[in-house]
Amino acid sequence: MKTKKQEIKQGIKLHTINTNKFKTNLVAIFLTVPITRENVTFNSVLSSVLRRGSKNMPTQEQISKELENMYGASFDCGIEKIGDNHVIKFYLESLNDNFIPENNDISTLKDSLDLLLDIIFNPYLENNKFKDEYVEAEKNNIKLLIESKIDNKDQYALNRCIEEMYKNKPYGLYKYGYTEDLDKINSDNLYNYYLEIINTSKIDIFVSGELEKEKIAEVVKNNENIKNLKERNPNHIVNNEQTEDKENVQEKEIEEKMDIGQGKLVIGLDVELKDYNSKFPVSMYNVILGESATSKLFQNVREKASLAYTARSNYVRQKNNIYIRCGIEIENYEKALSIIKEQLEDMKKGKFTEEDLANAKKYMISGLQSVQDEQDSEITYYIGQELSGKLTTFEEYMEQVNKVSIEEVKKVANSININTIYFLRN
């Protein structure tokens, strides 16, 4: 696999991932802007409206027909929050040209790029604005999506913990926005906002598959929609270990009540290391603490004490946080919290072994290898690297993981403090 990136225009990058592991090509285009309370709901509605049609394909039925003509290609779009950025993402997966019948002169890769660029940068308009019907329909869909966030109690609890940790800060915003802001959106101001986005956002075009890179660059550069785009100083936030300043905060507990059968406990931890290379021992710490089935949380909270249905942790490196998440019987809250805190203290005292570290390294490397087995997860990895401001390849990541020592993990353990304890109960 070979990766390469080049600037098509200032603020617009083409990333190619040349691999023969798949029978498909995957084209992904990301529009990145800083996330704010003012734009978060606009971004959600915008991504949904754009998928409804382009000038050349005014309806979803016509888009579907074009995809069918490309040997059943598939298209999707959505929204992600990566650090303090809001990312509007578009994907199109199609059969690799090498698997098309020889008597067919179709290039699905070129068609994929052209179709996706047309949907994003040549939208369907009526009277120089988005179609009213499309905007109102998608506002209703986003409203339902926002209102349904309480249905997944596990994810809801995590979102609420993040919201409390980052109150009145960009990362605390809910990625799909807020129902009270939907009434402010109409066809006119959404289109004006769209024009602002395509002229100021950071644009990244990813192409994964068995590729001829030079030809791809020519296809992109010669595309009329790309030609019409202006150069820009891309408006986005660089988020990584070195850009996150952690303030000393007093540990706080938040309790929320809801009609639920199982309690949801989320503990947000701050990592106070700022060195760029700290992400490697922090990753190891997180695996030993709670990410794997051999972790301290899983073994001590779930297996030995039988206090949790689930007990795990995950590391968000863009914000230098670790989140511990447990599903527990509500009456077990104090016991579970006490044992979790014991695990954090044990890590600070270095109560883990070389075998624990070796198992964590194997787990991490296996995970990095599996990321490369899916084109979309591989692209997700690279866009995360791009927005962190420094690229670490998979090979470099694995090499650094293997170098992590017990002393480095102990240093991480002693740089970690509890920020927020959130408990959702009945």
Alpha helices in 300-353 (DSSP H): 333-348
CA dist., res. 276 & res. 286, Å (int) = 17
- How far apart CA 212 and CA 181 sit, in angstroms, is 45
pLDDT by residue (tens digit) across 152-172? 999 999 999 999 999 999 999
**Distance from C-alpha of 378 to C-alpha of 139, rounded to nearest angstrom:** 31
Distance CA(251)–CA(342), nearest Å, equals 16
Q: Within the chain, how many helices (H) and strands (E) appear?
A: 16, 11
CA–CA gap between residue 354 and residue 357 (Å, rounded): 5
CA distance 288 to 418: 17
pLDDT score for 72: 92
Report whether 150 contacts 259 (CB < 8 A).
no
Can you read off the two tokens belonging to residue 207? 């192409």
Q: What is the pLDDT of residue 257?
A: 96
Backbone angles phi, psi at 263, to 5 degrees: -75, 145
- Per-residue model confidence as pLDDT tens for the chain (426 residues): 688 999 999 999 999 999 999 999 999 999 999 999 999 999 999 999 999 999 999 999 999 999 999 999 999 999 999 999 999 999 999 999 888 876 555 678 999 999 999 999 999 999 999 999 999 999 999 999 999 999 999 999 999 999 999 999 999 999 999 999 999 999 999 999 999 999 999 999 999 999 887 789 999 999 999 999 999 999 899 988 777 878 778 999 999 999 999 999 999 999 998 888 899 999 999 999 999 999 999 999 999 999 989 999 999 999 999 999 999 999 999 999 999 999 999 999 999 999 999 999 999 999 999 999 999 999 999 999 999 998 999 999 999 999 999 999 999 999 999 999 999 999
What confidence score (pLDDT) does residue 248 get? 79
Residue 220 confidence (pLDDT): 96
What per-residue confidence (pLDDT) applies to 104? 59
Structure tokens at 242: 């070195």
Which amino acid is it at 44?
S
